[in-house]
Amino acid sequence: MRKKEYNLALSKITMQLLFWLIINLTYICAQSRSRYSDIPRIDVHTHIGGDSIGIVNFLKVRKILIETYNVDLAMFIDVGTSENQIPDLNKSIYVSKSRVFTCISDFSAHDGLDISPKDLHVWLDKGYVGYKIWAGPYYRRLGEREEGFRYIDNIVHEPTFAEMERIGMVAASIHIADPNGPYGKRTEWLSDPVEYWREITAWRHVLERHPNLVAVAAHGNWLVCQDAQLDYLRNMLATFPYLYVDLAATFQYFYLLDHENLRDFMIEWADRILYGTDISTFSDSKEVKLYAERYIRTFKILETNEMVEGGFFGSNPIQGLSLPRDVLEKIYYKNALKIYPNLKDQLSELGYRVK
Ligand SMILES: [Zn+2]
C-alpha cells in the first residue's frame, strides 16, 4: 500500500473510532442523567435530625445529585428521631431560604403520646408541618412488658387523633406495622401474618373514627410486600379519601410484587403517593456519595425501565416502572405541596415555578 493510501485508510479508521466514541459517550451521558430534570423532588420521609451537621451533609447529597444526575432534590421533611427530641425551628438551618421542614414526633406511642392534644395547635402555628407517630409492632418497644398500649386504636390515643383531625395537623409518615412478605419471604421485621393484620386493622379503626384526618402512612402503609396487600391498599385508599402513603424504604421490596400490578397501582393512585426514602442522619461526609447513589437508584426505578440493583436499601434487582411524567410530578412534589402546610410558599420563595 502506498503511503498516501495508507494515511487515508488510517484517517478513515480514526474518524470511525471518533464517531463510535461520540455515540457511546452521548448514550452513557443520557443513561446517567434523568429525563425529568425539571421536576423538583421532595423527600417527605427523612430522619436527618435536628443537628446541623446532618443537614449540611444532606445538602451535599443534594449538590451531588444536581451535578451527576441533573436532578433537584428541592426539599426534605424531617420526621424526627427515636429520641423524641423536637428540633428548634429558630436554628439558622431552618430559617429563611430553608429546604428543610420538620415535624413534631413520638416514636413511643406504646407508652402513650408525649404531646398533649391541647398543645398541638401551638406546634402547628410555629411551623411544624405534621405529627409523626411510630406505632409499629409493640414488642419492638415494649419487649416482654405487659403494660403499654399495643395497638394504635387504643382509646387512650383518641383525643390526639380527634384534635389533629379538628385542626388539620397531618399525621406525618405514621408508621403502622412492619413489612410482611409472602410465605417463604416473610421478612425479619414482622414474620407473623396474624400479628401483622392485627396492626393493619387497628389503623383502619383509627381512620374509620376520623374520616377527615389527613394521614400519610409511612412505607406504603406496609401494604406493599404482597400483591394481595396492594389490593388491600387500594381498598384503604378508596375508602379513606384523606389517606396518603409515602414510599420510604419500600423500593427494596418491589421485587416481591408483580411488576405490572405495581405500575398500575402507581398510575391509578398517583394522587395519593408521596416520594420518601427513610434516610437517617449521618456525620461522615464520606457517605455523601453513597447516599446520592441510593437516591439515583430510586429515581431510576420510578422513571426508567432499567434493571436497578437495589432500592434506597437492599440489593435485589428491581425492574424500573417507567412511570409517566404526570404521575412522577404528583409523586415527587405536587401531592406534598397539596397536604403539608408552608411547603408551597417556600418552594415559590426559593424560585421554583409552582402551579
Ligand atoms: Zn422512618
Query: pLDDT tens digit string along 75-106?
Result: 999 999 888 788 888 777 776 568 999 999 99
d(CA 313, ligand 1 centre) in Å: 12
Count structural domains, the chain.
2
pLDDT higher than 60, residue 309: yes
The whole-number pLDDT of residue 53 equals 81
79 falls within a domain: yes
Task: Name the grid cell of 181.
Answer: 412478605
1 and 45 in a single domain? The answer is: no
113 and 257 in a single domain? The answer is: yes
For residue 2, the enclosing domain spans 1-31
The whole-number pLDDT of residue 219 equals 98
154 falls within a domain: yes
Q: What's the chain's average pLDDT?
A: 91
Candidate from 3-12, 111-120, 320-329 with smallest mean pLDDT: 3-12
86 falls within a domain: yes
pLDDT higher than 60, residue 13: yes
d(CA 133, ligand 1 centre) in Å: 10
13 and 45 in a single domain? The answer is: no
Strands (E), the chain: 41-47, 73-78, 100-102, 104-106, 131-135, 171-176, 215-217, 243-246, 273-274, 279-280, 307-309, 317-319
18 and 66 in a single domain? The answer is: no
Enter the pTM of the model: 0.90
d(CA 230, ligand 1 centre) in Å: 20
d(CA 128, ligand 1 centre) in Å: 17
d(CA 20, ligand 1 centre) in Å: 46
354 falls within a domain: no
21 and 149 in a single domain? The answer is: no
276 and 332 in a single domain? The answer is: yes
d(CA 301, ligand 1 centre) in Å: 20
d(CA 107, ligand 1 centre) in Å: 10
1 and 149 in a single domain? The answer is: no
Q: How confident is the model at residue 7 (pLDDT cuts 50, 70, 90)?
A: confident
140 falls within a domain: yes
118 falls within a domain: yes
The whole-number pLDDT of residue 87 equals 82
d(CA 278, ligand 1 centre) in Å: 5
167 falls within a domain: yes
pLDDT higher than 70, residue 137: yes
* Chain position carrying cell 464520606: 286
pLDDT higher than 70, residue 259: yes
pLDDT higher than 90, residue 146: no
Candidate from 78-92, 169-183, 192-206, 214-228 with smallest mean pLDDT: 78-92
The whole-number pLDDT of residue 122 equals 96
d(CA 189, ligand 1 centre) in Å: 14
pLDDT higher than 50, residue 27: no
d(CA 77, ligand 1 centre) in Å: 11
355 falls within a domain: no
d(CA 276, ligand 1 centre) in Å: 9
249 and 115 in a single domain? The answer is: yes
| Long-range pairs, 58-66, Cβ under 8 A, ≥24 | 58/100, 58/279, 58/281, 59/99, 60/285, 60/288, 61/288, 61/291, 61/292, 61/295, 62/99, 64/288, 64/289, 64/292, 65/292, 65/295, 65/296
19 and 121 in a single domain? The answer is: no
Specify the CATH number for the domain of residue 190. Answer: 3.20.20.140
